[in-house]
Amino acid sequence: MTKISIALVSVLLVLTGMACAQGASQSAAAAAPPQEAAAPANAFNRLLPPPALRNLPPAEDGIHDPASPGTPLLQAPLAAFGPLPKANAGNRINWVSAANNGNIRPRWNAKDPKAQAEVLDLNIVRAVKGTMPDVVFAHNTHTELLDCADCHPALFKTQKGANKMSMAAIMLGDSCGACHGRVAFPVSECRLCHSKAKTMVGATGSQ
């Protein structure tokens, strides 16, 4: 076999190998399940959209089924929220003030419209590291709207020290993040939770 023939055979083998590899790659791509488009940043937190996307009509909010015949019957948020006290974050409504002022009357029990809330007047202070103010969890504002079983024990164990928490986990929807950023004010409102200033020890004056 001449040198030219050997060279041609080598080129053909290389081209054949490239074609086989390309075919295998295409077959694998065709067999693989379609990849979902990456969610935009903060997609988990529906209360942090830009102003133009806040309080959209039910058929456009990404929560309700636009094909459902009941969706067009729902009142648009902007119309419903008009007379309610305002807030600076989330859906821009201060729901605690709205309940305290009598603007809204939340049903404490979904099955019993006459059920009365069992309000627990208990504050829990959770110390945090660094200079950030400690967290104050007010049971009364939560139990005016929620039943104890809504949070315990699925989200929080009723035992001191049994609940490991972090802001990263909360931002991903764990513990407090099960509500805050979805139906309650978002985690961008730090001071609404971190409200107890630390006592600074060892502060010194000018020398």
The tens digit of pLDDT for each residue in 80-126 reads 999 999 998 888 899 999 999 999 988 888 788 888 889 999 999 99
pLDDT (0 to 100) of residue 195 = 95
Question: What whole-number distance in Å separates Cα of residue 166 and Cα of residue 171?
Answer: 9
pLDDT (0 to 100) of residue 5 = 52
Annotation: CATH topology of 108-196: Cytochrome C3 (3.90.10)
Low-confidence ranges of the chain (pLDDT < 50): 3-4, 6-9, 11-15, 21, 41-42, 206-207
pLDDT (0 to 100) of residue 112 = 87
pLDDT (0 to 100) of residue 14 = 46
Q: Where are the domains of the chain?
A: 108-196
**CB of 91 closer than 8 Å to CB of 81:** yes
Question: What whole-number distance in Å separates Cα of residue 107 and Cα of residue 97?
Answer: 16
pLDDT (0 to 100) of residue 193 = 95
pLDDT (0 to 100) of residue 15 = 46
pTM score: 0.65
pLDDT (0 to 100) of residue 196 = 96
- How is residue 63 written in tokens? 């929560």
